[in-house]
A = this chain, B = another copy of it.
Amino acid sequence: MTKTACDPLLPRNASPGRPKDLEKRAAILDAAKRLFPEQGFDGTSMDAIATAAGVSKLTVYSHFNDKESLFIEAIRDRCDEQLPVSMFDAAVSGDVSDQLMPIARAFFGLVASPPSIAMHRLLTAGTKTSDKLARLFWKVGPVRAQEGFACFLQRADEAGKLQVADPMRAASQFFSLLKGELHLQMTMGCCEKLSDAMIEEHLVATVDTFVRAYQRR
Contact = CB atoms under 8 A, between A and B. Distances in A.
A126 to B, nearest CB: 5
A84 interface: no
B138 A190 contact: yes
A173 interface: yes
A176 B181 contact: yes
Given A180-B173, A181-B176, A126 B121 contact: yes
A166 B137 CA distance: 35
Nearest to A217: B212
Interface string A2-14: 0000000000000
A124 interface: yes
Contacts of A209: 170, 173, 213-214
Contacts of A118: 126
Interface residues of A, number: 41
A179 B176 contact: yes
Given A42-B42, A125-B121, A131 B213 contact: no
B176 A180 contact: yes
Contacts of A131: 188-190
A181 B172 contact: yes
A187 interface: yes
Interface in A108-137: 118, 120-121, 123-126, 130-131, 134-135, 137
Contact of A138 (B125, B185, B212): B185
Nearest to A43: B42
A169 interface: yes
A189 B179 CA distance: 19
B138 A189 contact: no
Interface string A170-203: 1011011101110011011110000000000000
A48 to B, nearest CB: 15
A59 to B, nearest CB: 27
Contacts of A124: 120-121, 124, 187-189
Which 5 pairs of residues, A with B, have the shortest CB-CB distance?
A: A213-B213, A134-B188, A134-B190, A124-B187, A212-B213
